[in-house]
Amino acid sequence: MNPDTHYLGNRPRPVGVVEKCTFCIQRVRETPGRYPACVEVCPVGARKFGNLLDPESEIRYIIENKRVFILKEDLNTQPKFYYFYAT
């Protein structure tokens, strides 16, 4: 087990159980402005992370100006994970 996780992320899971993304809450809350691990390590900047409530944030710009979609939006689970096309 990885000790550098928060209480929801540091639980053993049976084989076949999918981990849920926690947006690395233990990292981003520890140091304001720090990004989730996958955002930091991606060499091409394929992932973006930010405050949806901040109208000046990059994430808001992307959502408002790029082609964006949500997986299975019809289920109305209101996920906070968006996919966007680079162009």
Q: Which residues bind ligand SF4 (CB under 6 A)?
A: 21-24, 36-38
In this complex, which beta carbon is closest to ligand SF4, that of residue 10 or of residue 73? 10
| Residue closer to ligand SF4, measured from CB, 41 or 53 | 41
Q: Rounded to the nearest whole angstrom, what is the least distance from the CB of residue 24 to ligand SF4 in the complex?
A: 4
CB of 22 to ligand SF4, least distance (A): 5
How many Å apart are CA 45 and CA 68, to the nearest integer? 16
How many residues appear in the chain? 87
Cβ contact 28:38 at 8 Å: no
- Residue 64's SS3 state is helix
